[in-house]
A and B are shown apart, each in its own frame.
Chain A
């Protein structure tokens, strides 16, 4: 097999809807990790027609969970964090995936060369890339899979 996205892309993936709430997205991320036997840090978001409209990563969720007055938190060593995330998620029950997802997307094709993928990941600071064949989503490439594949190749 050529050293292209096809060699490393995952073809089993779970997707989110832009209408899912953040709380629902967190649950889907957790269950997808169990289902795929690997930690899932981000997912593709598709509309009703299955068209890719965004990506939601843990980074996006962190941005949303991060307290607004973060500079003060560094000094509040006496604060009890119990329930902090639960409270943030319940406060955000009207916020949907579509409100916070990343919409400026970079996608690749199954034939994109692995070194091109490495280059995109470095330059654009992304850890996962959706793979499109025309308009159809056929897979997702994770940085860790690219790394493992290249390491294995170098070792041979």
Chain B
């Protein structure tokens, strides 16, 4: 009798194929200042914290650093004061789908990869790493946009996922004269990585992300500072009808984690699409892979 199982493009792939082997780490006695510097320099959203025996004992994320900023903690405080531990780990031989489910169940954005229950860490797996893997699989596929462009048929393009199909509709916007305190409160409440900044005429003029906030923290800006002082500009955006594969490519090229999505009117922001959203689709960038998520017979 045939056994029916669910499968998608990630089925059968192990954690070690998607993980990053560069793990940025500091020690419990290192300062928040050093942690911010490392997060900026190595472009990571979290750092592993080790004890004096070099055992991983905690994690400090940009969210933790932002909370320290909000609480007015001094930058010379040691990481021990704010780290969250122990780090959540998976094995390099775990199926990627199992790791994703564990991340989702625990409400975390990354798992550290260890062969000995977290004593020594050999890698890290975060949502953007899964997007990276999916993107590589997509590019190798005969049905990918890269291959298709040579064929140029409209009906084939219709199979591809577009931005508005998977974007998040809840975009939080704040005014340019609101304080960083208010921005941080909103980011904590809604668990967003960034908010849109609008001018008084309601036009989108910038973005304040957790990265912008921790840079402001290190540079000594008071949390009473207005958002316009530290926001990143211009707003990086794509159109609702842009292909997901192209949007991912744009994020990778521009080295950003999210793009805001606008309608035909570029000032009308209708959503936001992050690499995490793309990872949560858990198939490739076209509907050929989505189809593979349906029940498929094995055996």
- Which residues from chain A sit less than 8 Å from chain B, CB to CB? 60, 63-64, 66-69, 71-73, 75-76, 78-79, 84, 87-88, 91, 94-96, 99-100, 103
Whole-angstrom distance from the CB of B61 to the nearest CB of chain A?
A: 16
Interface string of B127-165 (1 = CB under 8 A from A): 010011001100110000010000000000000000000
Partner among A75, A94, A100 whose Cβ is within 8 Å of the Cβ of B37: A100
Whole-angstrom distance from the CB of A62 to the nearest CB of chain B?
A: 11
User: What residues on B are CB-neighbors of A99 within 8 Å?
Assistant: 36-37, 40-41, 215, 218
Of all chain B residues, which has the CB nearest A67? B255
Report Cα–Cα, A14/B252, bound state, in Å. 35
Assess A84 versus B253: contact at CB under 8 Å? Given A64-B41, A100-B41. Answer: yes
> Is B132 within 8 A of A91, CB to CB?
no
> Is A69 within 8 A of B212, CB to CB?
no
> Is B212 within 8 A of A94, CB to CB?
yes
Interface string of B62-79 (1 = CB under 8 A from A): 000000000000000000
> Is B136 within 8 A of A87, CB to CB?
no
Report Cα–Cα, A69/B251, bound state, in Å. 10
Interface string of B29-68 (1 = CB under 8 A from A): 0000000110011110000000000000000000000000
* B170 close to A (CB within 8 Å): no
Whole-angstrom distance from the CB of A144 to the nearest CB of chain B?
A: 26
Instruction: Count A-B contacts at CB 8 Å.
Output: 59
- For this complex, 5 residue pairs linking A to B, each with C-beta atoms less than 8 Å apart, are A67-B253, A68-B43, A71-B136, A94-B219, A103-B37
User: What residues on A are CB-neighbors of B42 within 8 Å?
Assistant: 63
Interface string of B217-236 (1 = CB under 8 A from A): 01100000000001010000
> Is B252 within 8 A of A78, CB to CB?
no
Whole-angstrom distance from the CB of B87 to the nearest CB of chain A?
A: 21
Report Cα–Cα, A91/B236, bound state, in Å. 11
> Is B230 within 8 A of A68, CB to CB?
no
> Is A63 within 8 A of B128, CB to CB?
no
> Is A69 within 8 A of B41, CB to CB?
no
Whole-angstrom distance from the CB of B151 to the nearest CB of chain A?
A: 15
Report Cα–Cα, A76/B246, bound state, in Å. 12
Report Cα–Cα, A66/B215, bound state, in Å. 19
Report Cα–Cα, A71/B20, bound state, in Å. 9
Partner among B37, B128, B139, B218 whose Cβ is within 8 Å of the Cβ of A69: B128
> Is B252 within 8 A of A69, CB to CB?
yes
User: What residues on A are CB-neighbors of B139 within 8 Å?
Assistant: 75-76
User: What residues on A are CB-neighbors of B218 within 8 Å?
Assistant: 99
The tally of residues in B whose CB lies under 8 Å from a CB in A reads 26
Whole-angstrom distance from the CB of B283 to the nearest CB of chain A?
A: 17
> Is A60 within 8 A of B219, CB to CB?
no
> Is B255 within 8 A of A60, CB to CB?
no
> Is A87 within 8 A of B252, CB to CB?
no
Partner among A66, A71, A78 whose Cβ is within 8 Å of the Cβ of B132: A71
Report Cα–Cα, A88/B146, bound state, in Å. 25
> Is A68 within 8 A of B128, CB to CB?
yes
User: What residues on A are CB-neighbors of B230 within 8 Å?
Assistant: 94
Of all chain A residues, which has the CB nearest B231? A94
Of all A-B residue pairs in the complex, the 10 with the closest CB atoms, nearest first, are A100-B41, A68-B43, A99-B40, A69-B132, A69-B252, A72-B132, A67-B255, A68-B255, A94-B215, A72-B135
User: What residues on A are CB-neighbors of B43 within 8 Å?
Assistant: 64, 66, 68
Q: Which of chain B's residues 81-114 have a Cβ closer than 8 Å to chain A?
A: none
> Is B41 within 8 A of A88, CB to CB?
no
Interface string of B171-200 (1 = CB under 8 A from A): 000000000000000000000000000000
Whole-angstrom distance from the CB of B231 to the nearest CB of chain A?
A: 10
Report Cα–Cα, A79/B219, bound state, in Å. 35
Known: A68-B128, A76-B139. 6 other contacts (CB 8 A): A68-B255, A69-B131, A79-B253, A87-B254, A91-B232, A99-B215
Of all chain A residues, which has the CB nearest B40? A99
Report Cα–Cα, A71/B218, bound state, in Å. 30
Partner among B20, B249, B254 whose Cβ is within 8 Å of the Cβ of A91: B254
> Is A72 within 8 A of B136, CB to CB?
yes
Partner among A71, A95, A103 whose Cβ is within 8 Å of the Cβ of B40: A95
Q: Which of chain B's residues 240-282 have a Cβ closer than 8 Å to chain A?
A: 249, 252-255
